[in-house]
Amino acid sequence: MRHIVTVFIFFSFSLNANGSSCSGRFVNPITDICWSCLFPISIGPVRVNGGGREDTHNPSQIPCFCPKPPLLLAPGIPVGFWEPARLVDVTRVPFCMVSMGGLKMGNSTVGYGVHSSNGDRQTQNSFYQVHWYVYPVIYWLELLIDFLCLEQQSFDVAYITELDPLWNADELSFILNPEAVLFGNPIAQAACAADCTAATAGFPLNPLFWCGGCQGSLYPFTGNNVAHNGGVQASLLMVQRMIAKLHRELLLWGTSGREALCQIIPLPIIKKSQYKTQMTYPRPTTRGPMACNPLGRTEVIWGSGREFPYKGEDFGYLIWRKRNCCML
């Protein structure tokens, strides 16, 4: 992680003077975050506060037990909550740091973004770069003191796809997702309609791990979108692909469910119900029942007016992660 920060420092010395092509805004933790998305909070099977939000299943056993030296097992209380843990940029402009105020690092002559359709096809193609930030804002703001279940890190730039050769080429990405050949057929893609319906009504279907709900297919793990239906749809698909890619690279782990009560666990296949997304740029979604949505939920209901020309064609999202832990 530190070597990526070093690379960013290097690129900052070649800052592009033409800032008009890169827009963004620093996330204001007071006004740009939907704090009601912390809910529901549960203690064992009891929901302390629902907040009108959807929730996944929580372990019900009280007490829970976890290994703790010098004792063999230490008792605790199982808790569940939604934690704002990561920020994501989805941008047409290489090295445009949307969530860092629109800072553009380095120069690039490669053209990205949305492309016109080819031949008789009625859909557009698009390509986006993605930047992944560590953003444990609850711990950072010290909102919950001495709560051991929180991730205790500082803000950091963890991953940028401009430095990842697999993000640009569908063929090279086959190294990470060889199973993609099994899902590139009409039957497998037709099953994604059920995932779209389930995500819109509640949470996506984890067994359909190749589906991105109403946004499209999670394969391949690249920035290429062959069915671009709008910036909101395309950016949400890129967020889902990035999460799936990081799970495959074991850079994201499982944090929810009974098996994750004592420690986070390796999870090479994405558990889609573990995440929710909240738009932070260009127009933050901070209120209403769809301020933060499970992966794959349709954007048609809430996405109107969230994309506009010039400064509204790149996107920022806050990732809410379900956390179950045994509080000792």
- At residue 109, φ and ψ (nearest 5 deg) are -100, 5
So what's the pLDDT on residue 23? 92
Contact present, 286 and 28 (Cβ < 8 Å): no
Among candidate residues 79, 78, 77, the one with its CA nearest the CA of residue 41: 79
Domain boundaries, the chain: 2-327
Task: Using the predicted structure, report yes or no on whether residue 171 has a pLDDT greater than 50.
Answer: yes
Q: In DSSP terms, which residues pair with 52 in a beta bridge? A: none
- Reported as a single tens digit per residue, the pLDDT across 127-157 is 999 999 999 888 777 665 456 677 778 889 9
Residue 115 has a pLDDT of: 60
Model confidence at 71: pLDDT above 80:
no
How does DSSP assign 34-72, residue by residue?
-GGGG--EEETTEEEE-TT---------SSEEEEETTEE
Asked whether residue 116 carries a pLDDT value surpassing 80, the answer given is: no
Nearest CA to 53 out of 212, 284, 289 is that of 289
Look at 11-15, 42-46, 244-248 and tell me which has the smallest mean pLDDT. Answer: 11-15
Question: What pLDDT, on the 0 to 100 scale, is given for residue 78?
Answer: 93
8 A C-beta contact, residue 128 and residue 162:
no
Q: Is the pLDDT of residue 108 over 80?
A: no
